[in-house]
Amino acid sequence: MWKRRGPRIQIKSAEQIELMRVAGLVVGRTLDRLREAVKPGVTTADLDRLAEESIRDQGGVPSFRGVPGPLMPFPAVICASVNDEIVHGIPRTDKVLRDGDVISIDCGAIVGGWHGDAAITVPVGEIAPELETLLMVTEESLWRGLAAGRAGGRLSDISHAIESYIRSQPHPGGRYGIVEGYGGHGIGTEMHMDPMVPNHGAAGQGPELVPGMALAVEPMVNLGTKGTRELHDGWTVVTADGRYSAHFEHSFAVTVDGPWVLTAVDGGRERIAELNSGQNRPKGEN
Ligand code: MG
Ligand code: MG
């Protein structure tokens, strides 16, 4: 699979990774602000305006608006995907958040030619316990994936860490659907670059992870089946069975000191060190 795709992976210098960190922080801080703004009665267009203000106040340029699509370019600064919408939802003035909803907010920005890309799923008011668990499982699977992004490992170690964590978690009456066909990607001077980073698969496959690689990791997990459907707007991806979905994303760099989570305001070092110590260390590495 990897050889056939022939990924040409952009390797950044340490200085270039520092520049990517600036873009990553713009995105991370913007998502922190948006998380605070999510409440019943707010529209997804309100969140979009707030995102644009936040990105521009910090000297960034929104990167999603104008991305070419099958019917129209993406028309907004964030993707706002509510409930059964998985990704690529379009913010709307008539989309009002209600108590019990979950909203995935995906945000991208460019600073000095370098991209940052991250997403969070946020509860609106009080949500059902099974949704709380869905959000926790999805976010934790992202961190398991990031923690597997170590120099000397292989790309699919990330995919495998995500899938195996999700599969290890009890599901209320079935199993989680891990979305296929959408996933993570290389990032740098463009938002979407080689290689693709699937959210499932065996470990030990694909290109070797080397310092200077930057990847966006973004598990999408459905409460029901993994099937997806695209709406007539050519953008919004929803679950085929109408059940709710969660999506979390960070951009990180492979460094000699381990993964550096460029879009996490604290850089994620501590959380990753914790995951990579003791019982969570993959077999054979002790
Ligand atoms: Mg994204
Ligand atoms: Mg992405």
For residue range 107-166, what is the model confidence (pLDDT) as tens digits? 999 999 999 999 999 999 999 999 999 999 999 999 999 999 999 999 999 999 999 999
| Model confidence pLDDT, tens digit, residues 204-253 | 999 999 999 999 999 999 999 999 999 999 999 999 999 999 999 999 99
Report the percent of the chain where pLDDT is more than 90. Answer: 93
203 C-alpha to ligand 2 centroid (Å): 21
**pLDDT average, residue stretch 188-208:** 97
Q: 81 alpha carbon to ligand 2 midpoint, in Å?
A: 14
- What domains sit in the chain, N to C, each tagged with a CATH number? 14-278 (3.90.230.10)
Quote the ligand 2 centre to 195 CA distance (angstroms). 12
DSSP 38-93: --TT-BHHHHHHHHHHHHHHTT-EESSTT---SSS---SSEEEEETTEEE-PPP-T
Interval 97-115 mean pLDDT: 98
pLDDT at 172: 87
Ligand 2 centroid–CA 175 distance in Å is 25
Is residue 3 over pLDDT 90? no
Cα gap 35→45, rounded to integer Å: 14
State residue 33 phi and psi, 5-degree precision: -65, -40
Q: State which amino acid sits at residue 199.
A: N
Q: What is the mean pLDDT of residues 60-73?
A: 96
Q: In angstroms, what is the span from residue 250 Cα to ligand 1's centroid?
A: 8
What gap in Å lies between CA 281 and CA 275, rounded to an integer?
7
CA 283 / ligand 1 centre spacing (Å): 31
CA 217 – ligand 1 centroid, Å: 9
Between the CA of residue 72 and those of 68, 76, 194, 233, what are the distances in Å? 7, 11, 24, 8
Coil, strand, or helix at residue 110? strand
Q: What is the pLDDT confidence band of residue 278, given thresholds at 50, 70 and 90? A: low
Q: What is the mean predicted confidence (pLDDT) over 51-76?
A: 97
pLDDT for 188 beyond 80: yes
Partners of 119 in the beta sheet? 106, 249
Give residue 280's pLDDT band: very low, low, confident or very high (50, 70, 90).
Answer: very low
Burial of 1 (0-12, 13-18, 19+ CB in 10 A): exposed
**pLDDT at residue number 2:** 41
